[in-house]
Amino acid sequence: MQYSKSTYWIITPSFTPKLISIEHIDKLIPEFFQASEHFYLVFLDIEGNVEDSNALFKAIGSITDSSSIFDHLDHRSTQDLEDLIDKLMLKPKEKYPVLLQFNDQECTQSWWEFSMVINSEMDPLGFIGIGVDLNFLERKLPWNHLIDLLNYGKAELDENLVFISAEPLVEEWIASGGAALTGKSLLDSGLIELNSFDRLELEKIISTDGVIQFKARANGASAYSSYSINLLKHSKGFLLFMRPAPKDEFYANNAKPFANEQLDLISGPVWILERNFSIAQQNSLASSLIQQWNSSNSPAKAGFNTEFAGDKSKRLMEIISQAFEGQEKKLAVKITNKTGGSEYWSFHTKVIYSEGKKRWVMIQGIDQSVLYNRINLQEKEIQTLRELAIRPSHILRSPLSSMLGLLDLIDYRKLDEENQKYISYLKPLAQELDEVIRNNAKKMSQLD
């Protein structure tokens, strides 16, 4: 870049202006930006001429260094970018995103954010811009601003989430004593503490093309207690972006929707969960039940542990996740407690809003064991009645069959006319009774 030797600030909308010397200005842009498959990067001078750019930006078309970016934009995008630059000149700390259409971009628009570069005398020297295609932006990128990427540590992982390489800062944050991360798995190495929900989401991303964001505690030697971690899929596997979670995130995480006294007034066990399945609140009954349900030899896990739900554990996690999207549901679960007894519960989810946003999910458990036990008792009684109804059929049919057999053995020729008449009445009646018993037994067997 053709900048004079002096000192620079990069003014971004979400961070305090950062002092950067000309000798280290190249370090402002992480190396991965140069070969990024997702992010465009360009440095412009005050007039909008390209000072430097990464390979993805150059691939848009015949854009070369020193050429004007306006020569490669359609009319509307040219006007929008000119307006944005004018606004940045007046208010360099403001955030002004812009949607750009390049002539050689085959009708694909891209979303850009620009920040101003100034020297120590506050003289504007140019602009740094980071952009992504709209179809990529629709994947719900987790960053508030694209410029935030400059503040993240970066690592590369293969398709199985095994570290290929990592910046020293990431190794310092994650690995104990700054040990090398190469060859270690993000999932299984014990480098970070993962709750059940985040582990499930990480397993999903291996087979999908997406972006995932989560907060985690690292087991390394760093003084920071929690980190914001983002995984982005690319051709070689995944890119990991990481930074210490801001303090205001901790304060937000410590917020509670209810007073503890209010929570104890709600019927049944109640858990209030964060998006990462950490427990923000729970009443005393919920706390004691979890201890009763979960096996004493099961490994301790951060957050809400759904293992007590048995084969419905994942389904319970799914309806909790869906509740954060506004889909409130319920799930019936049979729980085997530590004593081997069976309990029957229905879990209801409900989203809780804070400042207009879906902030927590409340899970309320309703004990239906008494109801289920009554149903089971009634089913046993019904089964007994069925057996009692079918049993007489077998008892009656045995002597009746004997009677029919004896009637067949009677020699009508040896009977007088009157007895022949009685016998002729008796046999059809016995056959009719046999048919009634057969039909009754058949109907009862169909009730099973």
pLDDT digits over 191-215, tens only? 677 666 666 767 766 666 666 777 7
Name which of 403, 392, 389 is nearest 432 in CA terms: 403
The verdict on residue 162 lying in a domain is: yes
Which phi and psi angles does 249 have, rounded to 5°? -70, -35
- pLDDT tens digits along 254-310: 567 887 777 888 888 999 998 878 888 899 888 888 878 876 544 444 568 888 888
For residues 200 and 285, membership in a common domain is answered with no
Residues 238 and 323 in one domain: no
Give residue 350's pLDDT: 92
Domain boundary pick from 250, 267, 282: 250
- Overall domain count for the chain: 4
**One domain for residues 68 and 140:** yes
Decide if 2 is inside a domain. no
- Cα→Cα distances 415→228, 418, 420, 421, 422, Å: 104, 8, 6, 9, 10
Let me know if residue 374 belongs to a domain.
no
Domain of residue 74 covers 7-147
Are the C-beta atoms of 155 and 184 separated by less than 8 Å?
A: no
Instruction: Give the per-residue pLDDT at 41.
Output: 87
Q: In what order do the strands lie in the sheet with 330-336?
A: 279-282, 270-273, 357-367, 342-354, 330-336
Q: Are residues 265 and 176 in the same domain?
A: no
For 395, the token pair is: 């008892």
CA gap 381, 85 in Å, rounded? 82
The verdict on 14 and 129 lying in the same domain is yes
Distance CA 220, CA 230 (A): 18
The token duo for 172 is 């310092």
Q: Is residue 59 part of a domain?
A: yes
Mark whether 19 and 134 lie in a shared domain: yes
Please give the DSSP secondary-structure letter assigned to residue 72: G
Same domain for 358 and 292?
A: yes
Does 243 share its domain with 356? no
Closest CA to 161 of 214, 213, 202: 202
Q: How does DSSP classify residue 70?
A: G
Last residue in a domain, options 222, 250, 278: 250
* Dihedral angle over CA of 135, 141, 145, 146, nearest 10: -60
- CATH number (domain holding residue 287): 3.30.450.20
Neighbours of 55 (CB within 10 A): 13
Low-confidence ranges of the chain (pLDDT < 70): 1-32, 95, 104-108, 120, 134-151, 176-179, 188-191, 194-199, 201, 204-211, 219-225, 246-255, 295-303, 355-356, 388-394, 444-448
Question: Does residue 157 share a domain with residue 138?
Answer: no
| Shared domain check, 122 and 39 | yes
Nearest-angstrom CA–CA distance, 226 and 217: 5
Both 67 and 81 in a single domain? yes
Is 312 part of any domain? yes
CA distance 67 to 60: 14
pLDDT score, position 251: 42
Q: Where are the alpha helices (DSSP H) in 254-368?
A: 260-265, 284-293, 313-324
Cα(202)–Cα(231) distance, integer angstroms: 9
- CA 351 to chain CA centroid, Å, is 15
Residues 323 and 231 in one domain: no
Residue 372 forms part of a structural domain: no
Domain final residue pick, 367, 402, 423: 367
